[in-house]
Amino acid sequence: MSDLMPGLGDEPLLTLDDEQRQLLSVLGDRLLAENKFEEARSVYEVLLASDRKNPFYNRAFGICCEQTNRMEEAKEALDRAINLDPQDAYAFTGRAAIRLREGDKEGALQDLQAAQATPVGQKDPLAKRIAALMGSAQ
């Protein structure tokens, strides 16, 4: 994300009203569910331009970046999502997947343990994904 918005703080680059934000969020969610990661990434990029402090937008953008092999952007967005919402099991799981791809098994295991400790991390289907990734990290 740093190359998208270099040197900028948390000030919005774009102003969206609630209806526009909601419509884009629904579109991004649909594209993400359909595994159209490049298209979803573009939608979440617009949403982040309007609200960089939204943990969900950061997480979704990070997942899309990871799926399109933009690892630095993915890590940045997932780090930000975790900082904004330390109970986001999905962000921890996404970052763990990146760490595994990079060979950082210890970091991945820490992220998976953090994800598992959240209320959401103990529910299916995320619990199954965490368990599978933990097997890879050990």
Q: What is residue 9's predicted lDDT score, i.e. its pLDDT?
A: 59
Residue 74: give its domain's CATH number: 1.25.40.10
Read off the pLDDT of residues 122-131 as tens digits, 9 standing for 90 and up: 887 777 888 8
| Phi, psi at 80, each rounded to 5° | -65, -40
Domain check: are 107 and 46 in the same one?
no
Are the C-beta atoms of residues 91 and 81 closer than 8 Å to each other?
yes
Question: Which tokens in the block code for residue 11?
Answer: 């000030």
User: Residues 72, 101: one domain?
Assistant: no
Q: What is the pLDDT of residue 121?
A: 82
Q: Are both 62 and 91 inside the same structural domain?
A: no
- Specify whether 55 is located in the same domain as 110: no
> Which residue segment(s) compose the domain that 6 sits in?
1-79
A 10 A CB-CB count for 65 gives 26
pLDDT digits (tens, 9 = 90+) for 70-118: 999 999 999 999 999 999 999 999 999 999 999 999 999 999 999 999 9
- Note whether 69 and 12 are same-domain residues: yes
Cα–Cα dist 92/63, whole Å: 11
If one counts every other C-beta atom within 10 angstroms of the C-beta of residue 40, the result is 24
Name the least confident of 36-40, 50-54, 133-137. Answer: 133-137
Mean pLDDT of the 132-138 span: 80
The angle formed by the CA atoms of residues 62, 110 and 108, to the nearest 5 degrees, is 50
**Rounded Cα gap, residues 88 and 133, in angstroms:** 17
Report the domain count for the chain. Answer: 2
